[in-house]
């Protein structure tokens, strides 16, 4: 049996026995074979002794059982690591941030407690996946949409707590922002409800977010201050129709005014669907077509185009621009989508075109006009999550295909937040491509476009492969950390990362001698004096392990 560091075998055996009493013997896992199922399937430490691994796992089915587990852990000073569905692949998976922790596997807590159509909200447990919630809604023919990430088998709660994003409209794409009300088992085993849920017999727990007094929900995301056992989410009423169109521009210099116009239109809610920026001339797809490119191959590119790209600097040369104009290949292409009554979204699309018409030569095309709801069986004709339908097509990234004969063993997401300007897109490409070249990293090898999950900023989301070769993985890990630091030097930071990189990322958030990290530690010491809850998650270490930071 594996042991957490600093815990005697007698104490560990006693804790395991008490876990078994709490949840039933079949839901406590201690054999190597069973505990290995909690390894991070995308670990960048594949085949290396430093891989983060659990000592055991325990799978409660109720909030009361979670409370018992936490109290037992306090008694024996056992580090715990809660996971919801364990599908946070690319950001750490189901493995703990601190080797030897006991994983608290919440998958069995899989109740959809309520979906309220009239007020468009859901209340769920952590084991509920996006597929589960979607099917619950479909089977009852409820007229609400979920907003799901890609892939869709992750936890609704887990994704929100890791501050993930989705693809429908701006109000719902930020999954933490669209939550309303939490129930949390604190590190001492006490039960807490936030927002209006703090009122006994609350009537508006999922309808008013902040309650009264300090609004503390944020501290339970990307942290280790408790185990969230229930969480409410606002849902989008099922729209009547969907329209998707493209704005195509032919000059390199159009990038900055294109972004500025997009920002105005989105912030004014003239467009609210997921904006998707591509550069056909640079061979960079919109996110919504990445899977299609993986499945059926990228568009063919003739040699002249390929040669011009190879000699372009930061995605530009006058010759490349001239070639694009001559060949009718847009430099930039913005995909806009609209959800709502047909007459409303047609008017929004018209208004968007009027604004973009200020850019010389802007061309417009309607790609889809769909009356909703669509037949779910036909959703795969689209990028499903943009229509609120979960899928696993995202696994085409890295999987074997005619265009990728050598599949990877997973990937780690490099995902810095940068300003929502055209200048920032070019500057980030300049900085990261130079750094990646120097570090021999397979990132920013051509001009990259950012994503628009969040309303007021851009985010680059680039996969760094995990391979079978430890030496390659080591180079990528070290390079990854250096890229994080390079970003920090330019005022950019990651939005989320795997435990292996959490210290590097949080070190970038260092204003006033790491005041933010020190505040996290103050909270940690107050809330979790025994340091049993997810030690090290997002670089928040309990006092007795804090030297690991240096």
Partner 1 sequence: MSRRAELRVMKGSALAGLLLAGLTLAGAAARADAPPDPHAAGRVVYTKWCAPCHDPGVTHPGTNALTVKYQGIKPGVLLEWKDLQPETVKYLVRHGISVMPQFRKTEISDAELEALAKFLSRNTPTH
Smallest distance from partner 1 to CB 115, Å: 18
**DSSP 8-class letter at 255:** H
| Nearer residue to partner 1 within complex by CB, 55 or 206 | 55
Per-residue binder mask for partner 1 (CB under 8 A), 80-119, x = binder: -----xxx-x---xx----------x-xx-----------
Does 43 contact partner 1 by CB under 8 A? no
Strand partners, 338: 243
Residues 324-363 that bind partner 1 (CB under 8 A): none
| Nearer residue to partner 1 within complex by CB, 42 or 501 | 42
Rule CB under 8 A: choose which of 163, 409, 430, 490 binds partner 1: 409
| Nearer residue to partner 1 within complex by CB, 43 or 348 | 43
CA distance 477 to 503: 13
Does 30 contact partner 1 by CB under 8 A? no
Q: Which stretch binds partner 1 (CB under 8 A): 180-188, 355-363, 409-417, 539-547?
A: 409-417
Smallest distance from partner 1 to CB 401, Å: 5
Q: What is the DSSP string of 228-243?
A: EEEEEEE-EEPPSEEE
Does 442 contact partner 1 by CB under 8 A? no
Residues 369-398 that bind partner 1 (CB under 8 A): 376-377, 379-380, 391-393, 395-398
Smallest distance from partner 1 to CB 109, Å: 10
Evaluated on CA atoms 381, 383, 386, 392, the torsion sign reads: positive
| Nearer residue to partner 1 within complex by CB, 230 or 411 | 411
Q: Would you say 28 and 85 are in contact if contact means Cβ atoms under 8 Å apart?
A: no
**DSSP 8-class letter at 358:** T
Per-residue binder mask for partner 1 (CB under 8 A), 153-192, x = binder: x---------------------------------------
CA distance 510 to 514: 4
CA distance 469 to 474: 9
Reported in sequence order, the residue ranges of 100-154 that DSSP labels E, i.e. its strands, are 102-105, 112-116, 121-124, 144-145
Smallest distance from partner 1 to CB 391, Å: 6
Q: Rg of the chain over CA atoms, in angstroms?
A: 24
Pairing of strands 144-145, 112-116: unpaired
Smallest distance from partner 1 to CB 52, Å: 15
Q: What is the DSSP string of 525-548?
A: HHH-TT--BSTTGGG---GGGGGG
Smallest distance from partner 1 to CB 60, Å: 10
Smallest distance from partner 1 to CB 381, Å: 9
Residues 284-303 that bind partner 1 (CB under 8 A): 291, 294-296
CA 10 to each of CA 15, 17, 33, 76, 516: distance values in angstroms, whole numbers, following the listed order: 9, 11, 22, 10, 38
CA distance 428 to 433: 8
User: In 3D, which of 139, 216, 153 has the Cα closest to residue 179?
Assistant: 216
Number of residues binding to partner 1, judged by CB under 8 A: 52
Residues that bind partner 1 (CB under 8 A): 27, 29, 33-34, 36-39, 41-42, 57, 59, 85-87, 89, 93-94, 105, 107-108, 127, 131, 135, 138-139, 153, 291, 294-296, 376-377, 379-380, 391-393, 395-402, 405, 407-411
């Amino acid at each position: 049996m594996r042991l957490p560091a600093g815990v005697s075998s007698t104490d560990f055996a006693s804790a395991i026995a008490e876990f078994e009493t709490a949840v039933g013997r079949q839901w406590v896992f201690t054999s190597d074979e069973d505990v290995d199922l909690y390894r991070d399937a995308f670990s960048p430490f594949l085949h290396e002794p430093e891989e983060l691994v659990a000592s055991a796992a325990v799978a409660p089915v109720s909030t009361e059982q979670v409370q018992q587990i936490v109290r037992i852990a306090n008694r024996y000073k056992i580090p715990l690591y809660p996971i919801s569905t364990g599908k946070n692949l690319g950001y750490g998976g189901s493995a703990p941030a601190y080797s030897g922790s006991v994983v608290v596997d919440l998958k069995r807590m899989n109740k959809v407690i309520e979906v309220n159509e009239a007020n468009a909200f859901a209340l769920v447990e952590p084991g509920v996946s996006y597929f589960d919630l979607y099917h619950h809604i479909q089977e009852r023919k409820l007229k609400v949409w979920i907003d799901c990430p890609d892939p869709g088998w992750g936890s609704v709660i887990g994704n929100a707590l890791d501050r993930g994003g989705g693809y429908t409209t701006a109000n719902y794409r930020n999954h933490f922002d669209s939550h309303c009300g939490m129930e949390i088992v604190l590190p001492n085993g006490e039960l807490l409800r936030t927002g209006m849920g703090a009122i006994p017999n609350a009537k508006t727990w999922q309808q008013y977010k902040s309650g009264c007094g300090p609004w503390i929900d944020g501290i339970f995301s990307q942290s280790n201050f408790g185990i969230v056992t229930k969480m409410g989410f606002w849902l989008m009423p099922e729209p009547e129709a969907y329209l998707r169109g493209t704005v195509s521009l032919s000059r390199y210099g159009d990038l900055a005014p294109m972004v500025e116009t997009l920002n105005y239109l989105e912030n004014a809610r003239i467009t609210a669907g997921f904006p998707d920026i591509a550069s056909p001339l640079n061979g960079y797809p919109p996110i919504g077509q990445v899977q299609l490119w993986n499945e059926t191959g990228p568009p063919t590119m003739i040699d002249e185009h390929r040669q011009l790209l190879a000699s372009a600097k930061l995605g530009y040369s006058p010759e490349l621009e001239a070639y694009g104009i001559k060949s009718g290949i847009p430099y930039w292409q913005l995909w806009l989508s609209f959800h709502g009554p047909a007459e409303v979204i047609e008017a929004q699309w018209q208004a968007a075109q009027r604004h973009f018409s200020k850019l010389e030569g802007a061309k417009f095309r309607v790609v889809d006009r769909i009356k909703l709801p669509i037949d779910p069986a036909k959703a795969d004709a689209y990028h499903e999550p943009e229509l609120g339908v979960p899928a696993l097509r995202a696994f085409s990234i890295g999987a074997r295909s005619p265009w990728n004969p050598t599949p990877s063993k997973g990937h780690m997401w490099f995902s810095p937040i940068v300003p929502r300007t055209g200048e920032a897109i070019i500057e980030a490409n300049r900085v990261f491509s130079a750094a990646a070249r120097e570090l021999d990293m397979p990132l920013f090898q051509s001009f990259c476009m950012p994503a628009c999950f969040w309303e007021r900023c851009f985010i680059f989301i680039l996969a760094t492969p995990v391979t079978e070769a430890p030496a390659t993985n080591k180079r990528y890990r070290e390079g990854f950390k250096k890229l994080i630091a390079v970003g920090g030097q330019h005022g950019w930071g990651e939005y989320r990362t795997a435990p292996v990189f959490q210290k590097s990322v949080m070190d970038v958030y260092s204003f006033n001698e790491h005041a933010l990290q020190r505040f996290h530690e103050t909270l940690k010491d107050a809330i979790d004096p025994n340091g049993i809850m997810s030690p090290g998650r997002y670089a928040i270490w309990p006092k007795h392990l804090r030297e690991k930071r240096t």
